[in-house]
Chains A and B, each alone.
Chain A
């Protein structure tokens, strides 16, 4: 990495975050009401307080676990759908009829219905899976379609079975794209999970903590919870990008 790129990649994002915090600080000072807009310092203090409580860890890891489960389900389904779409035109037609319908489902309506039908711990998992599935499917199918047709022709010449093509050609070749998608998918998943937990009133979750803070006007606490979610989402997304870049560099 040369000096110019280093500045671009490290200094610019740091400066952007500093500016965001500065705007937040100035705004909170001018509003001068901790219930409407707490200062960043008050929020940081709240984060530290949160990190001292068992209740927070229980909620955080429950939400995280639910996000990961929902993500895994949507990822596996999306992968199966993408492979089926690639190799069967009839299945592609069926899947491409279903996927836009899933994409168009109003999230809130689905949560409200699911709360009637299933447990409040399960409802957010189903909603998140349904919302992430179409995006994952599109990303994976695009990745599969981008695999060089010349390579596939080579496989045909050398009589490589479809199973070996999926395992030895498609999967490793789309891996960098997939890892980025996993990072962004997990981040999106967490965001949706928290929202779905609020709507489903899921006990011992980040969503329920947020809901409680709202009821008691603990705005700094709400901000602290949001900050923790944002940082977790960013960790997912950045990790995906870093791993993907390493993989691409190796090839």
Chain B
């Protein structure tokens, strides 16, 4: 069990969280939704220990992170970018599985947007951990590429059962990928449900998000 205990965080006078608590089950894929500025990315940064905060994150050491941008090293090839986070990993076979084997010696500049995104997601899977954070990983992608990448993520996750927490603005994306959906508002949990019936869940969360 992963626990966020009494988390408080503010940027100057802007209070984001006060005594925020959350529990996440091992192996779960949790989607975090909410309006811009509600603290979604801050929550990921707290979990990754990338920002100062008060409180405690228990059982979430050493996560990998798929950032909103690819953040690949421009001077390293695809293969070298993956080996950068884990020298032991058999990256060639991973690249083969995702159809990028022939690009293993290509530089990030030579990749299409979708390929670079795939490498960025793959890098998070290469890292030796069973915890993963994703910050709007499918943002600014066209629909077909977005669904291809989401399927790619689900396939990888099937093999490598990591606990994943991902932030998104897109309810369709959340329902497609997550086992559980959390909506944040004003630093508090407004909605927290397991995804059992995808269609109804989508209607429910859209209602809340559109504030109808």
Interface residues in chain A, defined as those with a beta carbon under 8 Å from any beta carbon in chain B: 148, 150-151, 153-154, 156-160, 168-169, 172-173, 175, 250-251
Q: Which of B67-94 contact A (CB under 8 A)?
A: 67, 69, 71, 73-76, 84-85
Asked whether, in the complex, the Cβ of A151 is within 8 Å of the Cβ of B71, the reply is yes
User: What is the number of contacts between chain A and chain B, taking CB atoms within 8 Å?
Assistant: 41
Apart from A157-B63, A158-B127, A172-B73, 16 more pairs, CB < 8 Å: A148-B71, A150-B69, A153-B50, A153-B71, A154-B67, A154-B71, A157-B65, A158-B65, A158-B84, A158-B85, A159-B62, A169-B73, A172-B75, A173-B73, A173-B74, A251-B107
What are 6 A-B interface contacts by the 8 Å CB criterion? A157-B64, A158-B84, A158-B85, A158-B127, A160-B85, A251-B74
Determine which of B71, B76, B84, B85 lies in contact with A150 in the assembled complex, contact meaning CB atoms within 8 Å.
B71
Asked whether, in the complex, the Cβ of A151 is within 8 Å of the Cβ of B73, the reply is yes
A-chain residues with CB within 8 Å of residue B73 when the two chains form the complex: 151, 168-169, 172-173
A121–chain B nearest beta-carbon distance, Å: 40
A54–chain B nearest beta-carbon distance, Å: 45
Closest to B127 in A: A158
B82–chain A nearest beta-carbon distance, Å: 11
Is B109's CB within 8 Å of the partner chain A? yes
User: Beyond A150-B67, A150-B69, A251-B109, is A157–B50 a contact (Cβ under 8 Å)?
Assistant: yes
CA–CA, A160 and B62, complex, Å = 12
CA–CA, A168 and B73, complex, Å = 9
Asked whether, in the complex, the Cβ of A250 is within 8 Å of the Cβ of B107, the reply is yes
Closest to A150 in B: B71
CA–CA, A108 and B73, complex, Å = 45
Of the candidates A156, A168, A250, A251, the one having the most CB atoms from chain B within 10 angstroms of its own CB is A251
B-chain residues with CB within 8 Å of residue A157 when the two chains form the complex: 48, 50, 63-65
Q: Is chain B's binding surface mostly helix, strand, loop or mixed?
A: loop
B-chain residues with CB within 8 Å of residue A151 when the two chains form the complex: 71, 73
Determine which of A158, A169, A251 lies in contact with B64 in the assembled complex, contact meaning CB atoms within 8 Å.
A158
Closest to A172 in B: B75
B-chain residues with CB within 8 Å of residue A175 when the two chains form the complex: 75
B49–chain A nearest beta-carbon distance, Å: 8
CA–CA, A172 and B77, complex, Å = 13
User: Beyond A160-B84, A250-B107, A251-B109, is A154–B74 a contact (Cβ under 8 Å)?
Assistant: no
B-chain residues with CB within 8 Å of residue A159 when the two chains form the complex: 62
Closest to B133 in A: A157
Closest to B123 in A: A158
B-chain residues with CB within 8 Å of residue A173 when the two chains form the complex: 73-75
CA–CA, A25 and B67, complex, Å = 63
Closest to A171 in B: B75
CA–CA, A151 and B74, complex, Å = 10
CA–CA, A168 and B109, complex, Å = 18
A-chain residues with CB within 8 Å of residue B76 when the two chains form the complex: 168
B139–chain A nearest beta-carbon distance, Å: 15
CA–CA, A156 and B48, complex, Å = 9
B-chain residues with CB within 8 Å of residue A153 when the two chains form the complex: 50, 67, 71
Closest to A164 in B: B84
User: Beyond A250-B107, A251-B74, A251-B75, is A154–B62 a contact (Cβ under 8 Å)?
Assistant: no
B116–chain A nearest beta-carbon distance, Å: 13
B-chain residues with CB within 8 Å of residue A172 when the two chains form the complex: 73, 75
